[in-house]
Amino acid sequence: MANSPVSSILDRYPALVIDGALATELERRGCDLNDDLWSARILLGQPEAIRQVHLDYFKAGADCAITASYQATLEGFRKRGLNEREAIALMQKSVQLAIEVRDEFWADPANRAGRAKPFVAASVGPYGAFLADGSEYRGGYGLSEKELMDFHRPRLRALIEAGADMLACETIPSLIEAQAIANALKEFPNTTAWLSFSAGDNKHISEGQPFVDCVAQLTDRPQVAAIGINCTSPKYIPSLIREAKRVTEKPILVYPNSGETYNAARNDWKGDPVVDSFGEQAKEWYDAGARLIGGCCRTTPEDIRVIASWARDRN
């Protein structure tokens, strides 16, 4: 069975620190992501900005970098006039960038104290992210499992061949898409992945299936290194972790968003007032049983720094 960077870190430390947002962090730093390709657009024009965000998350204590390939797909790049070879090169660039930053970071002995060597998790966004209409939070694509496998396969191959340490299959809204990805993964038997859903409430993934059923369907697959939830309000997270714990021994990962929601009409974010800081709230997720913990949209290197400050010696 393929060895996963997840188990090699969790064998040594009580928790694994995932990084925080990439796209919204780039925006906060002044990048214009007003584009269907989202952070993949920055890969084309401002790769230095992506390097800096990855570096800042490693400095904050992240054990992994999730690459800027969430919205990078053959179809999406084709619409921008790139041919297949160029599109694949760009997806692979997202992985190469993260590997270079990781290697530079790790080359400095001062960065190694008390932590494991970080790994590169290549982001695999859902079909809904390619549609760029918010359907990664709804599902209901009307596609068969085979059609979804055909959609995902070329990007999985490109990211694996670029040297990613594992795949981060994230913001999945439906069980059928998770199964399609898990089945496509069997064609790459030396690769492991985490599978992470978006959730609509404290028991169900976005398309409506009970999260506990999704976890039960995936728990016996040897290439699935961890199962969890991302880009979901923190208020649902403790309950979702407990649901997963009922049916799996696999590590559970959570990297919720900041809890705010985007209002397209007003072009701003608003939402629940945050009682505790994100990084302090995350202790509750550890206590509920999550072992891979980080942040999704609107989280920052500061949030990850707070998580890293307690996660490696929690008991």
Residue type at position 250? K
Nearer to Zn ion, 64 or 116 (CB): 64
The smaller minimum CB distance to Zn ion, of residues 149 and 234, is found at 234
Give the span between the Cα atoms of 281 and 232, in whole angstroms. Answer: 14
CB of 29 to Zn ion, least distance (A): 17
Nearer to Zn ion, 196 or 257 (CB): 257
d(CA 155, CA 73): 7
Tokens of 148: 């979804």
Pull the structure tokens for residue 188. Answer: 């790459």
How near is the Cβ of 256 to Zn ion at its closest, in Å? 8
Q: To the nearest whole angstrom, how small is the minimum distance from the Cβ of residue 23 to Zn ion?
A: 8
Cβ atoms of 72 and 94 closer than 8 Å: yes
Residues binding Zn ion (CB under 5 A): 231, 257, 296-297
Give bridge partners of residue 255 from the DSSP assignment: 230
Q: Write down the least CB distance from residue 24 to Zn ion, Å.
A: 8
Encoding tokens for residue 173? 């809204």
From the list 233, 184, 175, 226, the residue with the least C-alpha distance to 205 is: 175
* Cα–Cα distance, 99 to 92 (Å, whole number): 11
Cβ–Cβ under 8 Å, residues 53 and 30:
no
CB of 130 to Zn ion, least distance (A): 15
**Quick one: 165 or 170, whose CB is closer to Zn ion?**
170
Nearer to Zn ion, 196 or 223 (CB): 196
The answer to whether residues 271 and 262 touch, using CB atoms and an 8 Å cutoff, is no
Query: Residue 288 Cβ, how far from Zn ion at the closest point, in Å?
Result: 20
Residue 147 in tokens: 């059609």
Smaller CB distance to Zn ion: residue 282 or 296? 296
Residue 257 CB, nearest approach to Zn ion (Å): 5
- Rounded to whole angstroms, how far apart are CA atoms 36 and 71? 8
HSE of 63, CA atoms in CB hemisphere, 13 A? 26
User: Please, which residue, 71 or 179, has the CB nearer to Zn ion?
Assistant: 71
Q: Is 21 or 116 the residue whose CB approaches Zn ion more closely? A: 21
SS3 213: helix
Min dist. Cβ of residue 171 to Zn ion (A): 6
d(CA 48, CA 241): 36
